Each structure stands twice: as structure tokens, then as C-alpha cells.
Structure 1
Amino acid sequence: MANYIKELRALVGHKPLILNTAAGILVNDQQQVLLNLRTDTHNWSLPGGYLEYGETYATACIREYKEDSGIDVKIVAPIGIFDQGETTYPNGDVVQTITELFLVEAVGGHQLAQATDETIRLDYFDFDHLPPLLNQQTADTLVAAKAFLNR
């Protein structure tokens, strides 16, 4: 069921919802993480997004990573589930997201060279020098990813 979130929002408006998301951590040779500058909030997050109805976290991560970055990925390992915090988007939508975070590896595609309807640009950042992030949950996922990579 494509556009599940849009259909749901048409029914409930901006009412707070609990929604499921998936995101991936892709690191380069310098152990920097790839982030995308979002068109909706104009801050940075991990490539990822909402599950469509019937989708698994893993398939959503792979699909959303491609949409947000242009890069085809495969799942290497699950890192954790994050369920704290609330985000209010500029359009008034309010959500608490339950996010499964995965370590991913690039297997094809190409990093987007121009803006899309979801991503202004992509860049790699040091885990200790991050740009303004979407929300506290994004910050928490990056802390967990850094610990996971350094174990």
C-alpha cells in the first residue's frame, strides 16, 4: 500500500501519531557517516524513512536509503531500536517514531548529484563534528552507531 502515511494523514490531520521508520548508517574509509540535508526541515538526518504498510524494517531501510541518497545498500547488521522523542514537522505533523537502525554497505547506485523532493544534498561527517540534526532521536542513533562501530 504505497503512500500509507499520506492516506493516514488525510484521515487524522496533524494529530500526533506513532509511526515506524528505518534508517541506515553508511560509513566511508575515514569512518565518517553519510547524512542527508532534508528539504522539509532543512537539517540533517540519516537516509531512511517511514515503512509502507506490509513492509519490514529491512526492506524499508533499503528502499528509503535509495530514495534519499541514490545509493543501493544491503543490510550488514541491526544496531538497535530507538523509540524516544517527538518531532513536529514544519507542516504541523507530529510524530513519535520507532526507528530500527541498521549498519549498511553500498552495493550499487550513485550518490545523488542534485537535489530531490526529499534531499537537498548529502555529505559525510565525523561522528564528533555533526551538523544540526533533525531531532534528539537522530543524535541518539548516531551515538549508538559510533559505539557499535568502535566495539
Structure 2
Amino acid sequence: MGYISELRKLVGTRPVIMSGVAVLVFNDRGELLLQRRADSGDWGTIGGGMELGESFEETAHRELHEESGLICKELILKAVLSGKDMYYRYPNGDEVYNAIMLYEAIGVEGEPFLNDDEGLELKFFSLTEPIDNMNHASYMILSKSGCIQW
């Protein structure tokens, strides 16, 4: 059982600060890999919460592999995101204020595939126009970091 699951046993759904990562994976056409989330059915960035003792970079590598089956040679820090705009309420009622390290994966190896039960589908999207059914937290990550302008 992970850190957040253990913490939730103590605090219930009350807001907590959650340290985590989002990982940008671009294909050769400049499209971004997103995951259709199993908990909400909407499209979101690859990433997740940090486990006890992990570095942000270790979290990014782990989440990238867990959610997409991919590995990368390098991570480039693109943004540090936090504050009231990073509030998110999960479908189960859990509330978080995310503190996110946003990385871009460089030297990505493999073809994306669902590697855990957190996702329903993986797909590359152009960032030139709005993406239908995008997860609000992921929208905030992409807009606050300057990845999207819409």
C-alpha cells in the first residue's frame, strides 16, 4: 500500500499537500502522450504522487513506466507548480493541493502501452487546439507551464 493510501486512512478525504510529478512525452510530430484515466474517464498527463524516500526524478521514472510502459534516458525539469490553482478533488472525494515537478522525457524508449490499472487508453494529442474531456488538474499543469495557450 502506498504512502497516500496510508495517509488517507488517517485524514480521510480532507485536503492534503501532495508532492508529485507530471511527465511530458512527445512524439516526433510534437504531440503529447496523454492517458485516459480510469477513475474519471478524462484525459490526463502521465504522472503521480511521490512515495516515501523517493526523489522527484525517481518518481518520474517510476510513474512513466507504470502508466505507459516507457522508459527514458533523461528528464528535463520544465516547471515547478503549486498553489491554489493546483487544487484537485478526485472522483472519490479525496482533496489535494498538488506540488508538481513537471518534466519532459528525453530519449524515450519503447512503444506506449497500458502497464497498470490507472489508465484506460493512451493517445498522442496535438497541443494546438483544446483537447476534449481533459482532466482539470492536467489542464492546469499544461496551462501554468506554458505548454498550451487555449
| Contact 1:58–1:75 (8 Å) recurs in 2 | no
Deviation digits for residues 31-66 of structure 1, max 9, x if unmatched? 100000000111111111000011111110110011
RMSD: 1.9
| Contact 2:74–2:107 (8 Å) recurs in 1 | no
Change over 3 Å in CA distance of 1:131–1:66 after alignment to 2: farther
Change over 3 Å in CA distance of 1:111–1:39 after alignment to 2: same
TM-score by length of 1: 0.86
Counterpart residue number, 1:124: 124
Change over 3 Å in CA distance of 1:115–1:37 after alignment to 2: farther
Structure 2 residue 41 is the aligned partner of structure 1 residue 37: no
Counterpart residue number, 1:7: 6
Distance 2:74 2:132 in 1: 25
| Contact 2:57–2:75 (8 Å) recurs in 1 | no
**What are the equivalent positions in structure 2 for 1:49-88 lying under 5 Å apart?**
49-83=48-82, 84-88=85-89
**Matched positions, count:** 144
Q: Which runs of 5+ in 2 are unaligned?
A: none
Q: CA deviation at 1:115?
A: 7.4
Q: CA deviation at 1:85?
A: 2.6
Q: CA deviation at 1:111?
A: 1.3
Q: Which amino acid aligns with 1:7?
A: E
| Contact 1:127–1:142 (8 Å) recurs in 2 | no
Distance 1:51 1:76 in 2: 16
| Contact 1:115–1:121 (8 Å) recurs in 2 | no
